[in-house]
């Protein structure tokens, strides 16, 4: 078995999993405190047509994918607000309609420009197929995302706790909100290649949910979620390789979900 | 900590939400050491005025001056305390973390928490007698304890003016007594308290001054005189003919 982990392909995959797992875990603290996992689900599905069109017109790269994703997210976001106002239908309902529509459109574009294998990679990821460039991109995005979230954590936490108090303390709350979601989109884009747009939600939501029952302050929630994301994701990939399971991304997402259930059970036992 | 010569002056202040007028031609002066109650029926403009003073709404007309300069220059001296149930529920945060938020205007985004910040936070926690519960989660506290935590945050901010949005709402009698004692102590130490208030029977016990609004300024003056005014009685009781002595 040890021999397997001496193969550069697996070494790169483990390293990528640790990096992407940590960055997603760190960002998951924001998602948990913002109470926005459903919005993130919609966001990750909405990105697909943007990424697909960017790949079609400009060629696929992290930058083109990011801008495609941002444009798609903005269009879906603005349309949600507008249509919700015009129709008086709740924004959650409008968002659900639009993101599934956008997702379907993205699937059609991807099928048109690539093979079924490409489509499956975008939906479910291909962490074993990451190139050195992908790895460097994930690493760079990770450094930027974690540094920004750490530097502005004080304001981010106050804003998440009570936006009106944050504004009265001089925090530019709207700017902070947009910047935070731009960081989440960046993290999602680099995660899409590894585990796909569906399983990416597991990585950017679950780690903080695992840690939450054991912590009492945001100061510890962010780093601990990062380490939990890295360790849980790496364990998922290890189990996938060790047991020769199909779908590395699926193994990672399933392992994180299993750790979450274990965390809840342990907490309920020790809380008694 | 006394700043009794510090004065807040409003002249011709108004505010519209789109075409709807929420507040019109409000003008008064108060200074540190005073406690001002904002009174009026629902939709009278109390919250709008508090939000204008807190900088949460942009000034549209008139002027708001604090210490003879535009209030926008003195944001760190003005603390806003929303209703206790406004913040996010089940947020993992301790009392001491909430109090420490008050240091943000002094620290900004990037500066590290310094010795002076720890001292100011600890001082505010002591002043509000929160020492025993400083490490507890904010959601585990009663409404009265949460309100004291938010006042401690304002003290850590070193604010001169405390703007409170219906601070007595939902508190039991004991907590109401503690809170009114705290507000009186704060004005003795030189703070200016401005609070929207719905319980008419307690206005003169808690507040030194009162401002009655009904989208415009109906009356302003010493609380005891305002509460005796006929115009005020009509405004405060017209919507609630049986409201004397009960919450509006």
Q: pLDDT of B196-228, one tens digit each?
A: 998 888 999 999 999 999 999 999 999 999 998
CA angle A116, A122, A128 (to 5 degrees): 95
Q: CA-to-CA distance for A134 and A139, rounded, in angstroms?
A: 9
Domain that includes residue B144, residue range: 7-238
The Cα B60–Cα B48 span in angstroms is 12
- Pairwise CA distance, residues B40 & B213, whole Å: 5
Question: Which one-letter DSSP state was computed for residue B56?
Answer: S
Residue B76: list chain A partners with CB under 8 A. 170
Q: Please state, for a pLDDT cut of 90, what percent of chain A lies above it.
A: 44
Q: Do A161 and B88 touch (CB under 8 A)?
A: yes
In the predicted structure, residue A194 carries a pLDDT above the cut 90:
no
Instruction: Return the H-helix or E-strand segment holding A231.
Output: helix A218-242
Structure confidence by residue, pLDDT tens digits, A165-178: 999 999 999 899 88
pLDDT of res. A270: 84
Helices (H), chain B: 46-53, 95-100, 104-107, 115-127, 143-156, 173-188, 203-206, 223-226, 230-238
Check A218 against B92: CB less than 8 A apart.
yes
Q: Which residue has the tokens 């994703």?
A: A69
DSSP string over A80-106: HHHHHHHH---HHHHHHHHHHHHHHHH
Which residue of A154, A155, A218 is in closest CB contact with B93?
Answer: A218
Give dist(CA B120, CA B103) in Å, integer. 8
Contact of B14 with B26, CB cutoff 8 Å = yes
- Evaluate if residue B242 carries a pLDDT over 50: no
What total number of domains does chain B contain?
1
Report in angstroms the alpha-carbon separations of A260 from A227, A256, A263, B222: 14, 6, 5, 59
d(CA A243, CA A230): 20
Q: Is residue B42 part of a domain?
A: yes
Decide if B2 is inside a domain.
Answer: no
B247 occurs within a structural domain: no
B1 domain residue, yes or no? no
Question: Does B208 reside within a domain?
Answer: yes
Give the minimum alpha-carbon distance from A74 to chain B in angstroms, rounded to a whole number: 26
Q: What is the pLDDT of residues A100-159, one digit of tens each?
A: 999 999 888 888 877 666 677 777 888 888 888 888 888 898 999 999 999 999 999 999
Is residue B244 a part of any domain in this protein? Answer: no
- Number of CB pairs, chain A paired with chain B, less than 8 A apart: 73
pLDDT score for A152: 94
CA distance B232 to chain A (A): 31
Query: Which of B84, B51, B87, B71 has the alpha carbon at shortest distance from B11?
Result: B71
pLDDT band at residue B241, thresholds of 50, 70 and 90? very low
Q: What is the pLDDT of residue B243?
A: 46
Q: Give the total residue count for chain A.
A: 272
* C-alpha closest to that of B155 among B180, B118, B195, B128: B128
Give the C-alpha separation, A85 to A100, whole Å: 20
Query: Which one-letter DSSP state was computed for residue B137?
Result: B
In DSSP terms, B30 is beta-bridged to B8
CATH code for the domain of B95: 3.40.50.300
Beta-carbon-side half-sphere exposure of residue A221 (alpha carbons within 13 Å): 26
- Of B207, B181, B192, the closest CA to residue B77 belongs to B192
Where does the pLDDT of residue B246 fall: very low under 50, low under 70, confident under 90, or very high at 90 and above?
very low
Which pLDDT band, with edges at 50, 70 and 90, does A208 fall under? very high
Does residue B75 lie within any of the structural domains?
yes
CA dihedral A49, A52, A54, A60 (to 10 degrees): 150
- Residue A272 is predicted with a pLDDT of 63
What's the pLDDT score for residue A189? 82
Q: Tell me which DSSP letter residue A1 carries.
A: -
Distances (CA, A) of A28 to A36, A210, A237, B144: 10, 10, 19, 33
Report pLDDT digits (tens) over B102-146.
Answer: 999 999 998 999 999 999 999 999 999 999 999 999 988 988 899
pLDDT band at residue B87 under the 50/70/90 scheme: confident
Q: Which of B45, B153, B49 minimizes the C-alpha distance to B95?
A: B153
Please tell me the distance from the alpha carbon of residue A74 to that of residue B62, in angstroms, as a whole number. 37
* DSSP type of residue B219: E
pLDDT of residue A188: 86
CA torsion sign, A246 to A248 to A249 to A251?
Answer: positive
Does pLDDT of A162 surpass 80?
yes
For residue B1, is pLDDT > 70? no
Q: Residue B219 phi/psi, 5° resolution? A: -160, 145
CA atoms within 13 A on the CB side of B195: 30
| pLDDT tens string A43-60 | 888 888 888 888 788 876
- Tell me which of B92, B111, B140 to substitute to probe the interface with A (most A C-beta atoms closer than 10 Å): B92
For residue A1, the model assigns a pLDDT of: 59
Residue-wise pLDDT for A58-115, tens only, equals 876 667 777 888 888 888 888 888 898 888 888 889 989 999 999 999 888 888 877 6
Average pLDDT, chain B: 89
Q: Which of B102, B109, B137 sits opposite A216 (nearest CB)?
A: B137
Residue B112 lies in a domain: yes
Instruction: Verify whether the Cβ–Cβ distance B80 to A155 is below 8 Å.
Output: no
Tokens of A260: 């979450």
Q: What is the pLDDT of residue B245?
A: 42
Residue A164 is nearest to which of B56, B76, B157, comparing CB atoms?
B56
Assigned token pair, B93: 């945060």
The structural domains of chain A, ordered by start, are 4-263 (1.10.3470.10)
Tell me the three state secondary structure of residue A197.
Answer: helix
pLDDT for position A232: 97
The residues that bridge with B193 in the sheet, in sequence order, are B35, B162
- For residue A90, give both structure tokens: 């709740």
- Which residues of A fall within a CB distance of 8 Å from B75? 168-170
Q: Supply the pTM of this predicted model.
A: 0.87
Task: Using only the alpha carbons of chain A, give its radius of gyration.
Answer: 19
Average pLDDT over residues B68-85: 87
């Amino acid at each position: 078995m040890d021999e397997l982990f001496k193969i550069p392909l697996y070494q790169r995959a483990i390293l990528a999993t640790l990096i992407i797992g940590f960055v997603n875990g760190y960002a998951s603290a924001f998602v948990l405190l913002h109470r926005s996992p459903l919005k993130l689900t919609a966001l990750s599905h909405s990105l697909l047509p943007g990424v697909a069109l960017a790949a079609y017109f400009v060629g696929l790269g992290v930058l083109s994918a990011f801008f495609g994703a941002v444009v798609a997210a903005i269009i879906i976001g603005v349309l949600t607000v507008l249509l919700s106002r015009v129709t008086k239908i709740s924004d959650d309902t409008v968002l659900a309609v639009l993101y599934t529509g956008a997702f379907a459109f993205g699937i059609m574009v991807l099928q048109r420009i690539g093979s079924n294998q490409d489509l499956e990679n975008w939906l479910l990821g291909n962490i074993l197929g990451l190139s050195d460039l992908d790895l460097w991109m994930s690493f760079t995005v990770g450094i930027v995302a974690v540094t920004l979230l750490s530097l502005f954590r004080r304001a981010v936490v106050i804003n998440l706790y009570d936006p009106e108090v944050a504004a009265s303390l001089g925090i530019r709350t709207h700017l902070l909100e947009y910047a935070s979601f731009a960081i989440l989109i960046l993290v999602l884009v680099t995660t899409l290649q590894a585990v796909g747009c569906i399983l990416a939600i597991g990585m950017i939501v679950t780690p903080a949910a695992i840690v939450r029952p054991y912590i009492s302050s945001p100061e510890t929630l962010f780093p601990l979620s990062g380490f939990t994301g890295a360790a849980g994701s790496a364990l998922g990939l290890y189990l996938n390789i060790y047991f020769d399971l199909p779908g590395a991304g699926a193994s990672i997402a399933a392992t994180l979900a299993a750790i979450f259930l274990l965390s809840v059970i342990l907490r309920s036992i020790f809380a008694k | 900590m006394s700043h009794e010569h510090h004065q807040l002056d409003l002249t011709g202040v108004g505010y519209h939400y789109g075409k709807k007028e929420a507040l019109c031609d409000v003008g008064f002066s108060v200074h540190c050491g005073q406690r001002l109650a904002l009174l009026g029926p629902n939709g009278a403009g109390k919250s709008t005025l508090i939000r204008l003073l807190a900088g949460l709404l942009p000034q549209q007309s008139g002027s708001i001056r604090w210490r003879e300069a535009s209030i926008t220059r003195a944001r760190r001296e003005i603390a806003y305390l929303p209703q206790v149930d406004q913040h996010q529920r089940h947020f993992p945060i301790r009392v001491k973390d909430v109090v420490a938020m008050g240091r943000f205007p002094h620290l900004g985004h990037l500066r590290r928490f310094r010795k002076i910040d720890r001292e100011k936070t600890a001082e505010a926690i002591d002043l509000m007698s929160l020492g025993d519960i400083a490490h507890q989660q904010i959601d585990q506290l009663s409404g009265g304890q949460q309100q004291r935590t938010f006042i401690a945050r304002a003290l850590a901010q070193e604010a001169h003016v405390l703007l409170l949005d219906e601070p007595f709402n939902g508190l039991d009698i004991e907590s109401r007594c503690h809170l009114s004692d705290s507000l009186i102590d704060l004005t003795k130490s030189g703070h200016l308290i401005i609070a929207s208030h719905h319980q008419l029977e307690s206005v003169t016990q808690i507040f030194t001054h009162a401002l009655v609004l009904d989208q415009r300024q109906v009356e302003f003056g010493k609380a005891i005189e305002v509460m005796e005014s006929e115009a005020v009685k009509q405004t405060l009781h017209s919507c609630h003919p049986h409201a004397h002595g009960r919450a509006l």
